[in-house]
Amino acid sequence: MANEASTAGTVSERGARQTLVGVVTSARMDKTIVVKVTRTAQHPLYRRVVRSSKKYYAHDEAREARAGDRVRIVSTRPLSKLKRWRLKEILARSTRAA
């Protein structure tokens, strides 16, 4: 009985998965996309807004994302050496031709 209570509590304590929004820079690998996520932060001393970006490898099972698409990715268990994210949804399609 105590075991049931502990397993029920872990689901709510785990919380929601991290989500990020970015632009697909590469979709050439099999079921893998590269997503560039740009964030802005204010410099602590100079008070200027500084942009920085980071690339994330995400799993795209259906191979539906294309380069230039704006997508939302969520964290998941490690799928390979670099992949720790998966594609959740495509927010906006790229305007350039394929």
Summarize pLDDT for 31-74 with one digit per residue, the tens: 999 999 999 999 999 999 999 999 999 999 999 999 999 999 99
Q: What is the pLDDT of residues 6-18, one digit of tens each?
A: 444 444 566 789 9
Give CA separation, 54 vs 25, 39, 59, in Å.
11, 9, 17
Q: Distance between CA 37 and CA 78 in Å, rounded? A: 19
Global pTM reads 0.79
Domains and CATH numbers, the chain: 14-92 (2.40.50.140)
**And the tokens for 69?**
């698409």
